[in-house]
Structure 1
């Protein structure tokens, strides 16, 4: 086992236990840190103790690969956290990435579904089948609550309160929040849990309390949710780019479009900082501009 691997294993344990990081987050850290380890090896550097010149050379390498400012910033952020851990553990005396200040990456406007597009997604499922009921419930609850896919796949039956129409979600950092949902999501969830889910459970060898199951009766994964969404879009005959967060973006955008205040949307999304939520105000402004240009008689004159 190389010295680099040893330090990664220690850092991984720190992310899992102290930071309660998701498997997706840990994998992202691994990719960035492993890339840096490969750079050090190529430079004939076999020690975790590095100089600022090594950091600058690594930055040059990243830019030469054609990475965007956003990707470079993510790499540096990962390594800054990694070396912060090493300083805390007295492995190194200082963090060579602390003084690296990169230009802030431009945040792209989140993509979202328009109301008419969503209606097509909700109408394609065959709700006489277990899979159709599951897909309907999945899309309804993600759009109704704006929860992350990582939160959705870890949803338990006991997290759903049908009488209050709320769902308990465990977010980043093991932070708990309660989100309301409407009648359509309630009906879809209730039908799936009482009918379709019971059918899927019979195919599994062991019981699970996880809400969303795959065709084999085992818990649906993040990748499984992506596959479901891609199939739903195809079935709805929509030529759209689809990713799980698009429903979450739609949830936030539509709330703001219809008068919800930013603080409420922040709480519902589980954002730590309101600045993260503010990106959705740009979406609303762009939409308002589009509507104005399309509808005002003198806008194009």
Structure 2
């Protein structure tokens, strides 16, 4: 009688192995510096951190991943001072130092370095809690919504896109990730947008009736309204026909908003439309905690950037004084 290994029933056959021995060893040999970068979940974060590290590597003449392990606090301070000399904003400098710090925190966890040399390096102060992104006035927002020609396919798409940004305060990356199915969600009988935000977090935003009408008109004209998995907003090759199956890119959205606003006499980017929606909601007495959730902010201090109610001259105690 042959005896059977009790673990043999649970073992996978060798033929089912997905990695070859060479591929397995190659993955095992990846330096932790490269592993950290590959593990960043968000494309925008990966781009920003990549730019920051390229800048630091260029300054310190680092050419190999393992050379990060010889970086000291003096190197980081010298780089920070160089960024200041280049007249970069305090926000940009803080972001670049945060990217470098994130790398060294990961290396500490992997025991590749003994400490994080970015810790203790003084960073530029936060300038203020008041947002620098300009928000549009009501008349400017209405003019922007009316700017695209409503009879052409491109015009219908652009009006729907601008309305989606102005009524729901989406980031442009979030807008580009929307699918037709994300536009079809209902919660308690109310149509919602399903939005995939930063860090892979999903939030559901009630769909504004004006935006819903414009999106529906666009989908009927474009002909992909029945394709649940299709991107909601496609590039349009011309004004009559020809819609790409790919999603509109964040760069495409930026250029679109820039062009329409420039033609109206105020040149802005998509983030100004997010600032406009947030400011407008707060000015009309929306609860700030609800606005925080609506915007997908992790911290309410970020939401307060858009709250200008305390800085309105007409609300100053000056005008409460009476003799």
Would the TM-score normalized by the shorter structure come out above 0.5?
yes
Q: How far has the Cα of 1:231 moved from its partner?
A: 2.3
Q: How far has the Cα of 1:89 moved from its partner?
A: 1.9
Report the counterpart of residue 130 of structure 1 in structure 2: 153
Report the counterpart of residue 193 of structure 1 in structure 2: 219
Report the counterpart of residue 35 of structure 1 in structure 2: 55
* Alpha carbons 2:170, 2:274 under 8 Å: kept: yes
Map 1:95-244 to 2 at 5 A.
95-107=116-128, 108-161=131-184, 164-198=190-224, 209-216=230-237, 217=244, 218-234=246-262, 237-244=263-270
Q: How far has the Cα of 1:46 moved from its partner?
A: 7.7
Task: Out of 5-14 and 241-250, give the one that drifted further.
Answer: 5-14
From 286, 294, 297, the equivalent of 1:268 is: 294
* Alpha carbons 1:130, 1:197 under 8 Å: kept: no
Map 1:60-99 to 2 at 5 A.
60-99=81-120
Cα distance, 1:259–1:94 mapped onto 2, change above 3 Å: same
Cα distance, 1:14–1:249 mapped onto 2, change above 3 Å: same
Cα distance, 1:103–1:57 mapped onto 2, change above 3 Å: closer
TM (norm. structure 1) is 0.83
Q: How far has the Cα of 1:125 moved from its partner?
A: 1.9
Cα distance, 1:41–1:168 mapped onto 2, change above 3 Å: same
> Larger C-alpha radius of gyration, 1 or 2?
2
Aligned residues: 276
The runs of 5 or more residues in structure 2 that have no matched partner are: 1-29, 238-243
From 37, 47, 50, the equivalent of 2:67 is: 47
Q: How far has the Cα of 1:229 moved from its partner?
A: 0.9
Q: How far has the Cα of 1:137 moved from its partner?
A: 0.5
* Alpha carbons 2:32, 2:110 under 8 Å: kept: no
- Tell me, in whole angstroms, the C-alpha distance in 2 between the residues paired with 1:252 and 1:30: 30
Q: How far has the Cα of 1:208 moved from its partner?
A: 5.9
The runs of 5 or more residues in structure 1 that have no matched partner are: none
The CA RMSD measured in Å over matched residues stands at 2.8
* Alpha carbons 1:133, 1:196 under 8 Å: kept: no
Q: How far has the Cα of 1:66 moved from its partner?
A: 2.7
3-state SS in 2 of match to 1:99: coil
1:32-85 deviations in whole A, cap 9, x for unaligned?
111111122179x98222222222222222223232322221221111111111
3-state SS in 1 of match to 2:274: helix
- Tell me, in whole angstroms, the C-alpha distance in 2 between the residues paired with 1:110 and 1:181: 24
Cα distance, 1:208–1:129 mapped onto 2, change above 3 Å: farther
Map 1:274-285 to 2 at 5 A.
274-281=300-307, 283-285=308-310
